[in-house]
A = this chain, B = another copy of it.
Amino acid sequence: MPAKAAYPDDILRMAATLYYVDGLGQTEVAKLVRVSQTKISRLLAAALERGIVRINVEEYHARHDKLEHQLCSRFGLRSAAVIKTARNAGAEAARQTVGHFGAPFVASVFPKSGVVAVGGGRSVAEVVQRFRRGESRRLTVVQAMGSIDSNLSHVDALELGRAMVKLWGGEFLTLSTPAFVSDKKTRDFFLASQQIKFVWQRLRQADAAIVGVGPLDLSVYLERGVLGAADVAHLRGCGAVGEICGRFFDAKGRECASRWRDRVISIELELLKKIPQVIGVAAGPERAPALAGALRGGLLKSLLIDEALAQALLA
């Protein structure tokens, strides 16, 4: 099993003892072993690798079991992960924490083989970035929404899908389109294309999906300048409370009949609803109204959110 015997265990034990047990610095250890500090650093790494040094950390329960159960029963979910976050955490920190501790949850919920649809968004990106190479999967990953604007961002579904197949293998079906086009005609033109039809066909067979759930205000679209203040006002007028894959919905989770509806290229909410496992990811209590709407509409089957948001949802 040890590919290279490199250095005898005895030396590693000695160095590790001097360093970890007796608390000497690497430089001091180096003097005793008569090698460079550089080498001690490498020796210690090897000792950790070989198990001569083992570091045990009391298990940390990142998830809030009680809130998860309440959410599941209250909203009839298949599963939920509520991640504990620092009380005063900012939006970015919360997303990262949710991503970090949520990634294993999502990975466990995803099928080992089959079709998986991915949306974009910052929260989803934080999750996807942290997937670990596990037992190999045989997934067909499908991009569920176009790219938000022309400079490709690492939170676009295109990037996230690419990252997933790079890590887990499998094939990735891309939607080579923007998320928003100027009018219905253009949209219909795209949808009529052979490639897109093929992608949609696969979306209909999806076994699972992971999507971000955005609020109306503070949405990435507003931030990125895709949406203007006037647009937001219009959407609010249509009853919109939140967004999934660029599609806005009202408090009951019904897609709003806004003028944006005809300009978006992404999975329809009605189609999403039919996917047996849809994981909604979000962080921050200000997203509670959006989440509540999505849940009422049955758009999501599972949740990955932070504690504050969970509490807001249950209140």
Chain A stretch 159-185: residues in CB contact (< 8 A) with chain B: none
CB-based contact B56/A54 at 8 Å: yes
CB-based contact A59/B89 at 8 Å: no
> Across the interface, which residues of B come within 8 angstroms of A84, CB to CB?
10, 14
Any B CB within 8 A of the CB of A204: no
CB-based contact A58/B52 at 8 Å: yes
What does the 1/0 interface line of A23-59 toward B look like (CB < 8 Å)? 0000000011111000000000001000111111111
CB-based contact B100/A62 at 8 Å: no
> Across the interface, which residues of B come within 8 angstroms of A22, CB to CB?
100
Any B CB within 8 A of the CB of A228: no
Which stretch of A90-98, A137-145, A297-305 is in the interface? A90-98
Instruction: Report Cα–Cα, A58/B53, bound state, in Å.
Output: 6
CB-based contact A62/B14 at 8 Å: yes
> Across the interface, which residues of B come within 8 angstroms of A33, CB to CB?
86, 89
CB-based contact B96/A60 at 8 Å: no
Chain A stretch 70-99: residues in CB contact (< 8 A) with chain B: 84, 86, 88-90, 92-93, 96-97
Which listed residue, B20, B21, B55, B89, touches A34 by the CB 8 Å rule? Answer: B89
CB-based contact B54/A55 at 8 Å: yes
Q: A32-B100, A93-B32 are in contact. Are A17 and B60 (CB under 8 A)?
A: yes
CB-based contact B34/A88 at 8 Å: yes
CB-based contact A13/B60 at 8 Å: yes
Which listed residue, B34, B57, B62, touches A53 by the CB 8 Å rule? Answer: B57
Instruction: Report Cα–Cα, A96/B13, bound state, in Å.
Output: 17
Any B CB within 8 A of the CB of A18: yes
> Across the interface, which residues of B come within 8 angstroms of A92, CB to CB?
31
As for how many copies of this chain the complex holds, the number is 2
> Across the interface, which residues of B come within 8 angstroms of A89, CB to CB?
32-34
Which listed residue, B20, B32, B100, touches A96 by the CB 8 Å rule? Answer: B32
Which listed residue, B9, B14, B35, B60, touches A10 by the CB 8 Å rule? Answer: B60
Instruction: Report Cα–Cα, A97/B90, bound state, in Å.
Output: 50
Any B CB within 8 A of the CB of A308: no
CB-based contact A21/B86 at 8 Å: no
CB-based contact B57/A100 at 8 Å: no
Any B CB within 8 A of the CB of A16: yes
CB-based contact B55/A13 at 8 Å: no
Q: A32-B100, A34-B86 are in contact. Are A56 and B53 (CB under 8 A)?
A: yes
Q: A53-B55, A54-B55 are in contact. Are A96 and B16 (CB under 8 A)?
A: no
Q: Which residues of A contact B (CB under 8 A)?
A: 9-10, 13-14, 16-18, 20-22, 31-35, 47, 51-60, 62, 84, 86, 88-90, 92-93, 96-97, 100
Beyond the given A14-B84, A20-B57, A32-B100, please list 5 additional residue pairs across the A-B interface where CB-CB is below 8 A.
A13-B57, A17-B62, A33-B89, A34-B93, A53-B55
